[in-house]
Amino acid sequence: MEDERRLYRLDGVAHVAGTIDAEPTRCVYNVRRQQNMSLHDRIIPYLERAGLYHLARLNAHWFWLDEPLVSAFIERWRPETHTFHMPFGESTITLQDVAYQLGLPVDGQAVSGCMTDFHMHIEGARPAWEWFEELFSELPPPDKKKLYTVHFTWFHERFRVLPADASEETVRIYARTYIMMLLST
C-alpha cells in the first residue's frame, strides 16, 4: 500500500481495523416522522395554546435529522448508566435539555403511571369510548381498535386533510387529532 499511515488513527498508534469487531454497529437509517397530517394554519393556535407548536414545527419538512450524528451518539450510549461515553468523559441528556431543544414546557405536575385502568378514572368511571367519541366526534370501526387502542391508520385515513369549509368545532377535533398523532410517533 502506498500510504500505510492512512489506516492509522490520528495518534498513529491503533490500526482502524482493530476495532471492526469490537461492538455491533447500531446505526439509524430512517426515522418515522408524523407527516401524515399537514400542519394547517387553522390548527396552529390550538397547538400554541397546548405548548406543542415548536414540536409540530420540528416535525415539518424543513427539519432534517443528522442520521450519522445520531448513529454516533447511539454507539456511545450505555444503557446501564444512562450516559454517553465520550472521549472527554460521560455526559447525559436532562429534561431541561429536551425542553430547551423542543421548546416544550416542563413545569407543573408530571404525567406518569400505569394507564391500564384509565377508564376507571375518567370523570367518574365514564366509559372510555364515550369520552373518545366526545373528543373526536365519532368512533373508529371495530377493525380499527383493540381494547383501548386505536390503530394509527384510522386517524390517518379519517383526519389527514382538514376540509376547507371546516367549522371551528371541526378544527378543534383536527387539532386534537394532530396532537394525538404528533405525540404517538
| 50-77 tens-digit pLDDT | 888 888 877 665 556 677 888 888 888 8
Is the dihedral angle over the CA atoms 125, 156, 137, 139 positive or is it negative? negative
Residues pairing with 15 in the sheet: 8
pLDDT digits (tens, 9 = 90+) for 84-94: 888 888 888 88
Domain ranges of the chain: 4-184
Q: Which grid coordinates belong to 184?
A: 404517538
Whether pTM exceeds 0.85: no
Residues 117-158 have pLDDT tens digits of: 655 555 566 677 888 888 899 999 999 988 778 888 888 889
Closest Cα partner for 45 from 56, 58, 32, 37?
56
**Inter-CA distances, 140 with 114, 158, 167, Å:** 24, 9, 21
Residues whose CB is less than 8 angstroms from the CB of residue 79 and which lie 6 or more positions away in sequence, other chains included: none
